[in-house]
Amino acid sequence: MKKVASALFITMIPVIILLPVCIDLSNNAEGLLSGLDNQFHFIKADSYTNFRNENLPLIENIQNTDTSFYRIEKTYQRSFNDSLGMNYKGVTHYSSIYNRNFLDFTREIGLSQSWYWNSYFGSTPVTDSLFSIKYILSKTSMPDSYSSFGGSGNIAVYENPYVLPIGFMSDIEPGKILYSDNYFEVQNSLLNNLAKTDKQYFIRQSDLNCDFDRLEYTFTANYNFPVYIYFPETNNPGGALYVNGKYVREFLRKDDNYVTYIGQFAPGTEVTVSFLTAPYSVDFENTYVYYLDTGAFSQTVQALKAGGLYNISYDNGNIKGEVNASKDGVMFTSIPYDKSFSVKIDGRKTDISSIDSAFLIFNVKSGRHTVEINFIPRGLSIGILVSGVCSVILVLYFAYAITLKKRTKKTRF
């Protein structure tokens, strides 16, 4: 009996030792998951499934109909990585491995950006075009110039008539973009810099009538152009935005205080913009209300398209196309800049540069050319070489070990 008891005790020792370890691991896991839930709020799997079932057929219809290179975006989202979840190219993204310069640039031209994410919210036809956003899924209205591309339920799919290819010839001069908290003027500056024009694509609305007590302002529409509003970032607690009594969206908080399309009105129409928020939350003196002159914008886009890439083919890490440059200039691409990119023009490698370390650009001479853009991560070649050498050494070691073992056996016998 003593031997049995002793054997049983010896058997139980590992269990006794491991039990508190298991309890500690369980408590740590529960605490970690609870902490993540409190901070980021886990969402039920049904929300993902329902969202995917609602949007994926529309996205696949676009991709099956149009096989060219373009980006798709939405005026709503489930997460910042919907494009990864549904396999389409977009601009909204969240990653802790981020390009700070790119995020700064998108914020400085009016798109919503904070922490490690940037989003499509705040985009205008100007940024839609420059970033090759051709199709937009929306639950709200879009500018009249955007044509219908179908839809389902409360989601409409719009096609952007002003879309530019992923690369096009320009006259841009790095360092000449005028940044300010007025994103409309920044976009004016960016487009004028790209196209070497001197136009007011965004035109400011004058004569805003402010009623501070009622938290609203009114104006009479001057043009039949899309109208956008923005308020410089403040520490507002947030509130609801209404246009002519119709709810638009939540507004004025830091993360949702971005450029907003509020409609398109016939000249002479009275427009009332009101807020449901605390009285001190709205600074009417810094209200930016602008029209986009779609006529002037369309002319400039057509001029830029003439120097755009065509016959574009692409796969992972490679984009190839042709360009007919009317003169020497700079090809602007809506590709986030990274030193790992390389560019070949007619098979010859050329130097690359960037716009504020945000977007890839490079010089192109006048004439017809084939342009190839490749991405090979820095260190990949060295990593492959080191792995290869180590693999060879490992194989040689095992071969030597096996040979030595066989020799040792023969010696014994």
User: Looking at residues 279-293, what average pLDDT do you find?
Assistant: 72
Q: What whole-number distance in Å separates Cα of residue 263 and Cα of residue 300? A: 23
User: Looking at residues 185-197, what average pLDDT do you find?
Assistant: 90
Can you give the residue range of the structural domain that contains 410? 383-413
Last residue of a domain, one of 274, 300, 326: 300
Q: Are residues 271 and 314 in the same domain?
A: no
Output the domain CATH number for residue 319: 2.60.40.1180
Q: Are residues 159 and 280 in the same domain?
A: yes
Q: Are residues 293 and 314 in the same domain?
A: no
Q: Are residues 340 and 401 in the same domain?
A: no
pLDDT band of 266, cuts 50, 70, 90: very high
Q: Which two tokens stand for residue 192?
A: 């004028």
Q: Are residues 355 and 284 in the same domain?
A: no
**Residue 61, domain member (yes or no):** no
pLDDT band of 61, cuts 50, 70, 90: very high
**Residue 199, domain member (yes or no):** yes
**Residue 54, domain member (yes or no):** no
Q: Are residues 148 and 296 in the same domain?
A: yes
**Residue 4, domain member (yes or no):** no
Instruction: Compare 26 and 344 and report the one with higher pLDDT.
Output: 344
Q: What is the pLDDT of residue 303?
A: 93
Q: Which two tokens stand for residue 159?
A: 């096609």
What's the 3-state SS for the chain? CHHHHHHHHHHHHHHHHHHHHHHHHHHHHHHHHHHHHHHHCCCCHHHHHHHHHHHHHHHHHHHHHCCCCCEEEECCCCCCCHHHHHCCCCCCEECCCCCHHHHHHHHHCCCCEECCEECCCCCCHHHHHHCCEEEEEECCCCCCCCEEEEEECCEEEEECCCCCCCEEEECCCCCCCCCCCCHHHHHHHHHHHHHCCCCCCEEECCCCEEECCCCEEEEECCCCCEEEEECCCCCCCCEEEEECCEEEEEECCCCCCCCEEEEECCCCCEEEEEEECCHHHCCHHHCEEEEECHHHHHHHHHHHHCCECEEEEEECCEEEEEEEECCCEEEEEEEECCCCEEEEECCEEECCEEECCCEEEEEECCEEEEEEEEECCCCHHHHHHHHHHHHHHHHHHHHHHHHHHHHHHHHHC
Last residue of a domain, one of 270, 300, 330: 300
Q: Are residues 215 and 337 in the same domain?
A: no
Q: Are residues 354 and 214 in the same domain?
A: no
Q: What is the pLDDT of residue 232?
A: 67
Q: What is the pLDDT of residue 296?
A: 93
Q: Are residues 291 and 342 in the same domain?
A: no
Q: What is the pLDDT of residue 2?
A: 56
Cα–chain center distance at 39: 23
CB proximity list for 319: less than 8 A, separation 6 or greater: 69, 166, 167, 312, 313, 335, 372, 373
Q: What's the structural domain count of the chain?
A: 3
Over 90: is that where the pLDDT of 213 sits? no
Residue type, 86: M
Q: What whole-number distance in Å separates Cα of residue 135 and Cα of residue 142? A: 11
Over 70: is that where the pLDDT of 307 sits? yes
Q: What whole-number distance in Å separates Cα of residue 237 and Cα of residue 30? A: 33
Q: Are residues 361 and 395 in the same domain?
A: no
Over 90: is that where the pLDDT of 60 sits? yes
Over 80: is that where the pLDDT of 287 sits? no
Over 70: is that where the pLDDT of 41 sits? yes
Q: What is the pLDDT of residue 26?
A: 84
CA distances for 242 relative to 203, 289, 334, angstroms:
22, 14, 34
β-bridge partners, 271:
219
Last residue of a domain, one of 271, 300, 329: 300
Over 90: is that where the pLDDT of 274 sits? no
Q: Are residues 203 and 345 in the same domain?
A: no
Q: Are residues 158 and 295 in the same domain?
A: yes
Over 90: is that where the pLDDT of 412 sits? no
Across all residues in the chain, what is the average pLDDT?
A: 84
CA distances for 38 relative to 115, 117, 251, angstroms:
18, 20, 24
Over 90: is that where the pLDDT of 79 sits? no
Q: What whole-number distance in Å separates Cα of residue 311 and Cα of residue 218? A: 48
